[in-house]
Amino acid sequence: MKTEELRSELKVLLTPERMLHSEGCAEMAAALAAPFGTILLEKACFAGLAHDIARDFPERLIKKFSAIEDGRDIERWKKGALLSHGPLGARHVAANFCFDRAIYKAIFFHTTGCRGMSRLQQILLIADFCEKTRSFKEALLLRREISSTRPSKERLLIWSVQVLKYKLRYLLDEGRRISPLSLQAYNSMLKRIS
């Protein structure tokens, strides 16, 4: 993993606020992954740092890492950047910094979740939601709970369900579209808990 090269590119591509968020996400991912061993810890830190790399992509990189041909498609991508930056970022990270299937999938699905999420995918979903720069009430509550509880396989599932439940509720309240992947993730995790 080319962590220092990644960090240098992030400083160019991301706003200072998003850079702080990415660093906070890496820090939270490390805390969540620590009980599961060094390999997962390293992957979680890297994925946490890299997860939003495509969030503010310039047009040249949007074109390079997607099938976009004309300006109309770029405008459509920018409107949907909230969901599409995961897949685009995963492709960019795999091509330039580290091709690791687990990291790729964690970055790819960090905005929506997916059916049968791995431990690393759960860690990134949770870390992105409640890292230290997130100031909304639900993030603060979850961060407080995480700080007082040792992460376990079961706790990661429960926390992932809490994150997805909040995201789904938020999207419904705002009248926004919900990715079928998010519903599949939520339903599949509920089955794993029961």
Share of the chain above pLDDT 90, in %: 70
Q: Which two tokens stand for residue 56?
A: 């503010």
Residue 68, pLDDT > 50, answer: no
Question: What is the chain's mean pLDDT, rounded?
Answer: 88
Alpha helices in the chain (DSSP H): 3-13, 16-33, 38-50, 59-64, 71-79, 81-96, 101-108, 119-130, 137-147, 153-174, 180-193
Cα 140 to Cα 136: distance, rounded to the nearest angstrom: 6
**Higher local confidence (pLDDT), 46 or 61:** 46
Cα 29 from Cα 171, distance rounded (Å): 24
Residue 64 banded pLDDT, cuts 50, 70, 90: low
pLDDT of 107? 96
pLDDT at 92 over 90: no
Q: Which residue has the higher pLDDT, 181 or 63?
A: 181
